[in-house]
């Protein structure tokens, strides 16, 4: 019988990461990954956040304009309701006068 064969050693990035974690520690590796992510991907995230802020500002401005318009419409409807009440009172007065005369 021959000597037992050893399994092949892992290759690629998994082996590299494993060795790195063993040598410098998990927190250090995670800090390095976070730093890499911030340096390479964070600009895209900031650009998206800035775009979202601009869209939100436009939305808030539109909502303010609509609020002003709704207040004006509410005042107009209130005036119409008052005028309608006055017309109903006048009509009822005319009906009472007609009923009172033979």
How confident is the model over 74-96, as pLDDT tens digits?
999 999 998 898 889 989 999 88
Under 8 Å between Cβ of 15 and 9: yes
Residue 12 pLDDT class (50, 70, 90 cuts): confident
- Give the tens place of pLDDT for each residue, 26-75: 899 899 888 888 888 888 888 899 999 999 999 999 999 999 999 999 99
Look at the alpha carbons of 38, 43, 45, 46 in this order and tell me if their dihedral is positive or negative. Answer: positive
Whole-number Å distance between alpha carbons of 77 and 83: 10
Q: How confident is the model at residue 13 (pLDDT cuts 50, 70, 90)?
A: confident
Indicate the Cα dihedral angle 91, 92, 96, 99, nearest 10°: 70
Give this prediction's pTM.
0.47
**What is d(CA 44, CA 51) in angstroms, rounded to the nearest whole number?**
11
Kindly write down the DSSP assignment for every residue of 20-57, as one continuous string: HHHHH-HHHHHHHHHHHHHHHHHHHHHHHHHHHHHHHH
Tell me what pLDDT residue 19 has: 85
pLDDT bin (cut points 50, 70, 90) of residue 7 is low
């Amino acid at each position: 019988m021959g000597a037992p064969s050893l399994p092949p050693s892992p290759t690629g990035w998994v082996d590299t990461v494993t060795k790195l974690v063993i040598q410098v520690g998990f927190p250090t590796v995670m800090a390095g990954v976070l730093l890499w992510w911030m340096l390479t991907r964070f600009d895209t995230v900031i650009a998206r956040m800035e775009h979202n802020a601009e869209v939100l500002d436009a939305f808030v401005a539109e909502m303010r304009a609509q609020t002003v318009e709704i207040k004006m419409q509410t005042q107009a409807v209130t005036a119409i309701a008052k005028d309608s009440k006055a017309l109903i009172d006048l009509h009822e007065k005319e009906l009472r006068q007609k009923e009172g005369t033979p």
